[in-house]
Amino acid sequence: MIRLPLVIGGLIVLALVAMAASAGWIFPDDPMTMVAEPLLWPGQDPAFPLGTDSLGRDIAAGIFHGARASLAIGFISSSAALALGTLVGAVAGYRGGRVDDGLMRISELFQAIPQFMLIIVLLVIFRPSVATIILAISIVGWPAIARLVRAEFIVLREREFVQSCRVIGMSGPAIMLTQILPNALPVLIVSGTIQVATAILMEAALSFLGLGDPNLLTWGGMIGMGRDQLREAWFVVAVPGLALLITALGLNLLGDGLNDLLDPRGRRA
Partner 1 sequence: MTPLLSVRDLSCRYETRDGPLWAVRDVDLDVMPGETVGLVGESGCGKSTLARCIVGLTPASGGSIRLDGEELLTRRGPSLAQRRQMQFVFQDPFASLNPRRRVEALIREPLDVHRIGTPAERTRRARELMERVGLHPDWGRRFPHEFSGGQRQRIGIARALALSPRLIICDEPVSALDVSVQAQVVNLLDALQRELGVAYLFISHDLALVEIFAQRVAVMYQGRIVEQGSSAEIWRNPSHPFTRTLIEAIPIPRVDQRSF
Residues contributing to the site for partner 1 (CB under 8 A): 159-170, 174, 179, 182-183, 264, 268-269
Cβ-based nearer residue to partner 1, 105 or 268: 268
Q: Using alpha carbons only, how large is the chain's radius of gyration in Å?
A: 22
Q: Which residues contact 80 (CB under 8 A, 6 or more apart)?
A: 134, 135, 138, 142
Question: Of 66, 96, 115, which Cα lies nearest the Cα of 217?
Answer: 66
Cβ-based nearer residue to partner 1, 34 or 174: 174
Determine phi and psi for 68, rounding to 5 degrees: -60, -50
Residue 52 near residue 40, CB atoms below 8 Å: yes
Cα–Cα dist 100/89, whole Å: 8
Question: To the nearest whole angstrom, how small is the minimum distance from the Cβ of residue 185 to partner 1?
Answer: 9
Beta strands in 75-189 (DSSP E): none
Question: To the nearest whole angstrom, how small is the minimum distance from the Cβ of residue 218 to partner 1?
Answer: 39
Question: To the nearest whole angstrom, how small is the minimum distance from the Cβ of residue 121 to partner 1?
Answer: 42
Cβ-based nearer residue to partner 1, 4 or 168: 168
Question: To the nearest whole angstrom, how small is the minimum distance from the Cβ of residue 163 to partner 1?
Answer: 6
Half-sphere exposure in the Cβ direction for 24 (13 Å, CA): 3
Cβ-based nearer residue to partner 1, 114 or 172: 172
Question: To the nearest whole angstrom, how small is the minimum distance from the Cβ of residue 265 to partner 1?
Answer: 12
